[in-house]
Structure 1
Amino acid sequence: MADAPDTLAAAPPTPPVPLTALLAHEELGLRQIAGPDAARTGAVVHWVHTSEMADPYPYLLGGELLLTAGVHVPAADADSVADRLDAYAARIVAAGGAALGFGVAPVHDTVPEALVDACERHGLPLLEVPPRTTFSGVARAVWQLMAEARHAELRRVTQAQQGLAAAASRPDPVPALLRQLAARLSGYAALYGADGTPAQSAGTPPEPGAGAALGRLVGVVNPGGGAASDEGRGTGVGGSAARGQAERAPRPAPASATDTAAGTHLAAYALAGAHGLALGVATRQREPGDHTLAGVAAVLLSLLTAPHQGAAESARSAALVRLLLGAAPEDVAPLLGPGRWTVVHARVRGGDHERTPATPASLAAALGSVLADDGRGVDGGGAADPRGVARDESADGGGREAGSSREAGSSKEAESRTTGAGTPRPVRLLLPADREPAPQAGWTLGVSAPAGAEALPAADAQAARALRRAEATRVPFVRHRETGLAGLVAPAEADAHARTLLAPLGDGGPLPETLRTWLSLHGSWDRTAAALSVHRNTVRQRVTRCATLLDVDLDDPDVRMELWFALGRTGGAG
């Protein structure tokens, strides 16, 4: 087995548990008896592992609370035990273990003094696990604390998103948004101009060294900025990533980048379509949801800093920002105006992205040539972006960065926009209804019927169904048909289904016509007989014969509905 890495390999997708929280868990009764004070060092636990190996190093990933009952502790002279336990503690520290829990009983009545000395010497927190506490109970407590921390973080992110939404709808949205973001992150947020210097900022500015590093990081995501010189990109902790950008030019710049300098966590986000603007963030601590919040702020700033907006455009942008963050359509309808809109759902066709730069930005640009200056982009939640830049549809409710799309992303971005099963995520566009979307190479499109702002959710559902029909029938473009229930199924599919379902009745003959008449008269034997000018018993015999041939229960309303639909497709209903 390969050696464990020197650093934490891959943190789990849940927040770590502070060691102090575990020690404060009264039911466990854990007690720290050696090592640095957990409250002072801020030690955390990422997971729990139980092992009785004399050398657990090869089996640790880093960040574990290692639990042992001391089965491996030799019953030999004191010097030998001390040497072996000293090596044992050293190996746990080398593997990145967060702490060691020693279970008292049944092997040892007390924690060996040599182990206490070894942990103290190597700076490894040592916890005494009382006999009443099982190792599985310790593990369960860690998972529960992780779940509680995760829920608290989700609440924090949700509340912060609401605060960002409120800031974005204020009369001075950009400075208000920066202030809100800086307050939520307990740090510094700045909007960098095309020259690579902060145009507006909020919060406590970082130390000079960290501020310079943040400027260089902004140059990584915004190579056209004045601070993005080749020399500047090759310095700092993130210098290797920055140097790669310079050495492999003209490789596309990333949408976001992170770094650490002078004990400060740094992040930079390019703003989509905002002509060289970028968001820079600096915090002393990095929480799990910080990247999500900064990503949402970057999207909102992209909307708010769209160039050349007149009064009408600004009002529309404000409306679409509110839609993006969950406002009811009727609340923003006055800002959108009396115009009607068409929703388009699009998905990259399998394999086409290898030949076509099928990125959301390229799709928006292609449709923009048709939509002139009126194109609008809709995100996965049914809301819109005023520059026609599509975003991905995410099921995590804001957990994914709704980040900027760029021409430079090319096929790599298309490949990354997939679900766990490998299916490309759909993107959405909101287009003025007077402009006709056309099929696009590399994409499958579903188009809604025109709708006013108050009916956008219904139009969004129509576009989703149209996209599903397009993919099912393997055609590049399907428009929603306003034809009731039958419009939910493609005509070719409906006809094929009807022929297959009614085939046992044969072509022509009295059976299909009798069944159609009987269904149209709600199963009335006498009225059907009168309509067909036959005896009542003849109707019963024919309908019974239909049920037998079709192997169905005609008393089932679902069966009757399906048969009526099929008879209508074959000309037997009307």
Structure 2
Amino acid sequence: MLLRDLVAHPGLGLRLLHDGGSASVALERPVRWVYTTDLIDPARYLSGGELVISGLVWRGKPADSERFVGAVARAGAAALAAGAAVFHGVPDDVVEACRRYDLPLLEVPEEVSFATVTEIVIGSLTAARGNRLAHKLGRQRQLLSAVAGGLGLDELAGQVSAATGTVCRVLSATGRAVVPGPRPLDGEELDRVVATFLTAGRLPAAVAGGAQSVFPVGPSAEQRLTSWFVAAEGDLADRDTETTDTIGELVAIAALDRARREEGLRVARDIADDAIALIAGGAGNRPETAVRLKQAGLDPAGPLVVAVAGYGERVETARAVLADAAAHLGPPAVGVHEGAAVALLPAHDPAGEPAGAVLGRALGRLTPGLGTDRLVVGVSRPSGPDALSGALQEARHARDVAALRPGPLHVVTGAEVVSHVALLATVPDDVRRAFAARVLDPVLDYDARTGAGLRETLEAFLDCSGSWSRTAAQLHLHVNTVRYRIGRVEELTGRDLGELADRVDVFLALRSL
């Protein structure tokens, strides 16, 4: 309801005593609600947009008008309606205070009760809300009918964009375009949009600069790292209620569409788990593995890469994040094996960019939302079906290398894996563990009994290329202490760490633990 409608109402006889600087502007102010008071400072009960009605009982002296009107104006009220009954008119000091604060002032005649004014305002507001609700329900029915009729999410987003004049896109947390809109967002703009979605204290939120606003898709309890969101062009603050409601309906339908897709992916996960288990067992070149890869949408004859992701103990989160990032390359097979998320995916995207680079860029967008958590990913080199088991081992070792690096996110490719790690990746796990136990078990047992810190000293000694002084400085120990501990290691292992061959044995045994 506008002030203009209230002043023009024939049954009230309200008189405009102050127009807030311009009658045409003042009369276009919307009235959100009505509040009747005779408190001299009612600000705590106002939230903005109210028509404040007062009988002026609070006025004991002219100076009281300054306090009352100031409190009402600062609270953002739409206008003050002052009753004429107590003073047989509205005192001049009240009018002057309203002029100073640019607060529109209406006089309520003595014969008109405040209850009548309140009833008319509330009735008008209720009718307007009813009309808006009916319009909203009609629009929702149209959209849901379109969904039931088979209209795709991209087509619905196009309809909403056309209806609101606001281009809407549906994106994932790695920047994957579920609905790309009329043009893809460029890299920097996409990064800003995703970062805003991941880090905003409250959603929806506007991207810095006002070029986009982001709306979450899905339940509020879901992690943003694994969510979708709607990016709508323009600043949230500049949109009217109609536009915001329509975008909200697109958000709800996107959530339904996502849930439907998740149901379809459950079968794909079982297929991926089977394929990964076969590959881990050394059956990458068997016919049944090729069948599973085809069912997952992969070409078993083409080069594939394996990616392994770790996100603390949250394996399902790691799987969901890896699946979203891998989808930038095409349909991946993503499952869980031995407590880690594992993906089988094409070696490059349709444009020829290597899988590792695509995954690194997509996962890099998640960095603002990781906080103190760590996401580490290893990606193998491209392999044929007969070498996928080795590729899985290589990806695991690349993931382990990523875990050794500081920071919230690291993606390490097989090409970055140092030579001894690549060598160890080809050695069966039981052989590797047996070798490590034969070399280092006496040291580990001694540490367990005495807490002597021999393993820690040995690792530092090898990292410092056998330098006594650098090892001592790194561990904050006296050089003689380092010499004693390394001497005990040599006694327990039967190795001379001054000899290159023995030093290599101990180094590889440490890396095999």
TM-score under structure 1 normalisation? 0.37
Name which one, 1 or 2, has greater alpha-carbon Rg. Answer: 2
Higher helix share: 2
TM-score under structure 2 normalisation? 0.41
